[in-house]
Amino acid sequence: MKNLLLVSFILFFVCFGFSQSKNQGSSMYSNFDKTVGTFNTKLSYGVFFEEKFRKRIKNNHNCFLSDVFQKGNIHYRGEDFFNAELKYDIVNDIIIARITNQEQKLSIILEKNLIDHFQIHNHNFVNTFPQKYGFLEKIAVFDNFSVLKKHQKSVEKNTNENYVYHTFEKEVDEFYLYYNNQYFPIESRKDFIKIFPEKRKQITSFFNDNSSLKKNNYKTFIIELMNQLEN
């Protein structure tokens, strides 16, 4: 069977006829998934995952934080899944889920356009679809806009004594602003002025006064600028 065959085993749909708090709901759905197995839920919809990278150097991998499956939460196909087993491949910008039944575990690449948001180790990501920036991490949320970061890694193929393996290197982070239901790259002064033309003078002054911070810690620079613009 080809790797790209879709796997769709949607066997159960559970409706709870009473209200619960968010934490109670999380526990309830998590216990349900544990009982019937994620193999029998909407999380099983995707394509089979096959590892294409050979990793030889410890802690050098293609994933966010870790290349082993981690507990996380995800909103997929209109449904929340809590304590799911997830990996975020930031080389290919894909989410891999490990689904289980009573006998086996399968790794599935989730359909990207069907993911709304997910969380791994208190890092919250959103899907920018239909815009094409992929998954972005929320790093600061304000009343009128949010600041987000794009995690990226590059991959290099290496050959050593006829053995092929891959190494990975973190790329420079990219930053985006979510404003008026759109995502905007924010790499330069012009980008900010284009978004907030009425605040041109304030933006220019902040750039002039904080050139050192911009050079050494662009993330903090952006957040402080947004704090000023918000106020």
Rounded CA separation 119/82 (Å): 9
Q: What pLDDT is recorded for position 196? A: 96
Q: Is 230 exposed, middle or buried (0-12, 13-18, 19+ CB in 10 A)?
A: exposed
Q: What pLDDT is recorded for position 8? A: 40
Q: Is the pLDDT of residue 24 over 80?
A: no
Choose between 119 and 163: higher pLDDT: 119
* Mean pLDDT, residues 186-201: 96
Look at residue 144 and give its three-state secondary structure: coil
Rounded CA separation 130/108 (Å): 22
Q: What pLDDT is recorded for position 23? A: 45
Q: Is 25 exposed, middle or buried (0-12, 13-18, 19+ CB in 10 A)?
A: middle
For the beta carbon of residue 133, count every other beta carbon within 10 angstroms: 17
Q: What pLDDT is recorded for position 27? A: 43
Beta strands in 58-181 (DSSP E): 70-76, 79-89, 94-100, 105-110, 115-120, 123-127, 135-141, 145-150, 153-160, 163-170, 174-179
Each residue of 82-96: pLDDT tens digit? 999 999 999 999 999
- Phi and psi torsions of 13, nearest 5°: -135, 120
Rounded CA separation 121/196 (Å): 33
* Mean pLDDT, residues 123-136: 96
Q: Residue 162 — pLDDT band, cuts 50, 70, 90?
A: confident
Parse the chain into domains and list their residue ranges: 6-185
Q: Is the pLDDT of residue 22 over 70?
A: no
Q: Residue 100 — pLDDT band, cuts 50, 70, 90?
A: confident
Would the CA dihedral through 149, 176, 111, 11 be positive or negative? Answer: positive
Q: List, in order, residues 6 or more apart from 64 with CB less than 8 Å away.
A: 87, 88, 89, 90, 120, 123, 151
Q: What pLDDT is recorded for position 167? A: 97
Q: What pLDDT is recorded for position 40? A: 54
Q: List, in order, residues 6 or more apart from 101 with CB less than 8 Å away.
A: 37, 39, 40
Q: Residue 14 — pLDDT band, cuts 50, 70, 90?
A: very low
Choose between 209 and 42: higher pLDDT: 209
- Percent of the chain exceeding pLDDT 90 equals 75
Q: Is the pLDDT of residue 19 over 50?
A: no
